Amino acid sequence: MIDIRLLRDQPDVVRASQRARGEDEGIVDAILDADEQRRSALTAYESARAEQNRIGKEVARAKGDDKAALLAQVKDLAARVKDLDATAAAAGARYDALMLSIGNVIEDGVPAGGEDDYVVLEHIGTPRDFEAEGFAPRDHLDLAEGLDALDMARGAKVAGSRFYFLKGVGARLEMAMLTLAMQRAIAAGFVPMITPTLVNRTTMAGAGFIDHHLDEVYHLPADDLFLTGTSEVALAGYHSGEVIDVADTPIRYAGQSSCYRREAGSYGKDTRGIIRVHQFNKIEMFVYCHPDQARDEHRRLLAMEREMLDLMEIPYRIIDVAAGDLGGPAARKFDCEAWVPTQGRYREVTSTSNCTTFQARRLGTRFKGEKGNEIAATLNGTLATTRWLVALLENHQQADGSVLVPEALRPGVGLDVLTPVAP
């Protein structure tokens, strides 16, 4: 949720943000109008209620005829208070619905436009020239099956399409990668967390996934619990309703969890291998900080992602995601995209968002500031995830189907080279 005071004081800022996102800027005036109505309805209710409270105290003191007279007088008032309360509640509900539907105000410098209007900030590393090396690269699924590292067929048998088993060196590679990511996060001052992957409705809504991404979320109706698509959800809920101490120093968490996504609406997309799956693992960074520090903290999360990708020794680029592709809570988002040789293009492997106070306002996460309690800022970013295996396998493959393990992962995997097994 955005700050209503910003919308009242500088509606043009919000209009410009909506325009850049390609969304309706008329909603700004709709909200201002609803806010006006809500406040006048509230004032009407509150003054009637004050009158009722005042007479109520007289009733308590009065006796006999006086009391009977007062009761007769206040009976109508009680009915009127009830009506005014209902009116105010309805006006409040209209206002809330509008406020929840508007996305965060974008940060200065975010490219305008939609999915294809991103700006490439930097390329790191150079894709290998397989033609010059004299062989055609195999895709990650071929490679992984050759290494007996991945079993898609049995994943489908046991759970359905887009499920899989990571097996043998596949499991070892993922565990080594996740462990390295966690160790680096700890070294950088992040508090390691293993989070709940099932959360209640309140938490899911607070993180913003019920209003906007409901189709992508697994729901367990018997218990009204939701499987989370990222530990961001649990980490955002962690300090909900609390006053935390981030006036000077950010609180930084690194959450490890399995992540679950329905991938509804992506039928036919990325059906080969593990690029798009229903369940995967991820190390997610999540930061609470003073709003004034959010921008710097965002760059710090990006730097963490870069260092980790550098250790994977894979070529990647960094993009500044366009306003229309940000998602509601983000004011700015940087994605790192790794080179996938067999697709001849870059694919998203990390994503870091600065949600400023948008998410925390909804979750009620505050800190003691100079002007009393203020809303904290939240940020998140990927430090490692299962999809990275695609880039690791494809970029480090050799002509014989073996795969070199990057230096940084060798201690964790316990191998320098992953070698194909006999068929």
Partner RNA sequence: GGAGGCGUCGCCUAGUCCGGUCUAUGGCGCCGCACUGCUAAUGCGGUUUGGGGUAGCCCCCAUCGAGGGUUCAAAUCCCUCCGCCUCCGCCA
Q: Which residues does the annotation mark as catalytic?
A: 261, 276, 348, 351, 387
Site string for RNA, 198-237 (x = CB under 7 A): --x-------------------------------------
Closer Cβ to RNA, 71 or 186, answer by number: 71
In the structure encoding, which two tokens stand for residue 285, read together?
A: 């960074």
Closest to RNA by CB, 60 or 132: 60
How far is residue 133's CA from residue 124's CA, in Å, rounded to a whole number? 21
Instruction: Report phi then psi at 329, rounded to 5.
Output: -75, -20
Is the CB of 90 or the CB of 399 nearer to RNA? Answer: 90
The pair of structure tokens assigned to 31 is 């909200």
Q: Which is nearer to RNA, 60 or 422 (CB)?
A: 60
Q: Do residues 237 and 203 make contact, with C-beta atoms less than 8 angstroms apart?
A: yes
64 binds RNA (CB under 7 A): no
* Residue 55: CB atoms within 10 Å: 17
Instruction: Please report whether residue 240 would count as binding RNA according to CB under 7 A.
Output: no
Identified binder of RNA from the candidate list 53, 183, 249, 266, rule CB under 7 A: 53
The whole-angstrom separation of Cα 275 and Cα 139 is: 11
Comparing CB distances to RNA, the nearer of 53 and 419 is 53
User: Does residue 276 interact with RNA by CB under 7 A?
Assistant: no
Q: How far is the CB of 103 from RNA (least distance, A)?
A: 20
Write the interaction track for RNA spanning residues 366-385; mark x where CB under 7 A is met and - where it is not: x-----xx------------
Round to whole Å and give the CA distance between 228 and 255: 12
Token readout for 339 is 């080179």
- Binds RNA (CB under 7 A): choice among 12, 60, 215, 345: 60
**Which residues, in sequence order, are CB contacts of 348 under 8 Å at separation 6+?**
335, 336, 337, 387
Alpha carbon distance 372, 120 (integer Å): 41
Positions in 11-40 near RNA (CB under 7 A): 39
- Contacting residues for 304 by C-beta, under 8 A, at least 6 apart: 184, 185, 188, 285, 381, 383
Q: Footprint of RNA on residues 181-200 (CB under 7 A)?
A: 200
Of positions 15, 25, 52, 128, contacts RNA by CB under 7 A: 52
Strand 345-354: give its sheet, edge to edge: 119-124, 316-320, 332-340, 345-354, 377-385, 279-289, 251-260, 191-194
Site residues for RNA, 70-129, by CB under 7 A, read 71, 74-75, 77-78, 81
Beta-bridged to residue 332, according to DSSP, are 354
Q: Which stretch binds RNA (CB under 7 A): 42-50, 206-214, 387-395, 405-413?
A: 42-50
Q: Can residue 54 be called a binding residue for RNA (CB under 7 A)?
A: yes
Q: CA-to-CA distance for 374 and 377, rounded, in angstroms?
A: 10
- Alpha carbons 320 and 126: distance in angstroms, whole number: 20
Please tell me whether residue 247 binds RNA under the rule CB under 7 A. Answer: no
350-369 residues near RNA, rule: CB under 7 A: 366
Chain residues in the site for RNA (CB under 7 A): 4, 39, 42-43, 45-47, 49-50, 52-57, 59-60, 71, 74-75, 77-78, 81, 200, 366, 372-373
